[in-house]
Amino acid sequence: MTHLITKGLFAASAMGLVAALAGGAAAQDKKTIAVSIPAATHGWTGGVVYHAEQAEKEIEAAFPNIDVIVKTSPSATAQVSALEDLSASQTLDALVILPFTSEELTGPVEQVKANGTFIAVVDRGLTDPSIQDLYVAGDNIAVGANTAHWMAEKLGNQGKIVVLRGIPTVIDDERIKGFTDVMKDTQVEILDIQYANWNQDEAFKLMQDYLAKYPQIDAVWANDDDMLLGVLEAVKESGRTDIKYALGGNGMKDVIELVKAENAMTPVSTPYPPSMIKSAIYMTAAQFAGQAPMRGTFKLDAPLITPQNADQFYFPDSPF
């Protein structure tokens, strides 16, 4: 079963479920939840680490019977080793994992599963979905489609735009598909679409190339907020005034601050929140806090972030 849930409702529901179950937790046997995630190598994963550590503190404070162990890994190889160490040193009742890569982690997670461990996978799926009991992710097609609907409407369904891609991944493919499928039904012309690898510096250079190549650009979509910052810098340095909108995605706090301030060029965004790891940990804890089994696939919707609702998506203490 697949469930599509808005980010705010999802987080509130997961937190409310755990809180409601707190009264009956103390008498239960000790349970261990391991959380395996990539290290904070860039903004979004920095946010993942932040929200995982927040969940660890909150759940252990609410449930004396639940021990949450958060382990970060700088590479897929290191994450495989971390799983082996966790499994060898203790009995894992549950594993919440955001795989560094899908292929390299599928086998090791399957081995953990063979011990009777509950498996919750976040964001990057395994190559064998049957291993997971719970899957929590964002809706990348909606990230692209909702951005495209807004942009096309603001441009009057016509104009010239450029697009920056991330890296060749399913996540990037889905975002681009959502965006371009909407634009096919408009008179908006996509002048160019190239990879900038979700990197601010590379996006800056690519946007400089776009600005030199195209004398008229009405809007820009960088499908990630790290790239958007590079785009905004390049546009500012160029002095060009033809670009009406530059939009990104993911919900970086620096971009949410632009939205909150009703910035003319970046007045909206779309969420792909790293806090999804926190929701997954809460839902996993519900298995043991009060016999509330959570199974299936949960996708976070990608509603537009506007000045009116931006506070719901703003985490000032998060690194992302």
- Angle (CA) 43-40-300 rounded to 5° is 60
164: three-class secondary structure by DSSP: strand
CB 27 within 8 A of CB 254: no
Expressed in angstroms, the distance from the first to the final Cα of the chain is: 31
**Is the domain covering 2-139+273-313 a CATH 3.40.50.2300 domain?**
yes
141-260 in CATH: which number?
A: 3.40.50.2300
Question: In whole angstroms, what is the distance from residue 105 CA to residue 126 CA?
Answer: 7
Is-same-fold flag (2-139+273-313; 141-260)?
Answer: yes
Q: How many CB atoms lie within 10 A of CB 58?
A: 18
Number of residues in the chain:
320
Torsion of CA 192, 195, 201, 206, to 10 degrees: -20
280-319: per-residue pLDDT in tens? 999 999 988 877 778 899 988 889 999 999 999 898 877 7
- Region 93-118 average pLDDT: 94
How far, in Å, are 89, 195, 211, 225 from residue 199 at the CA level? 38, 10, 18, 9
Domain boundaries, the chain: 2-139+273-313, 141-260
41-82: per-residue pLDDT in tens? 777 788 899 999 999 999 999 999 999 999 999 999 999 999
The whole model's pTM is what?
0.75
Q: Which two tokens stand for residue 14?
A: 């997961």
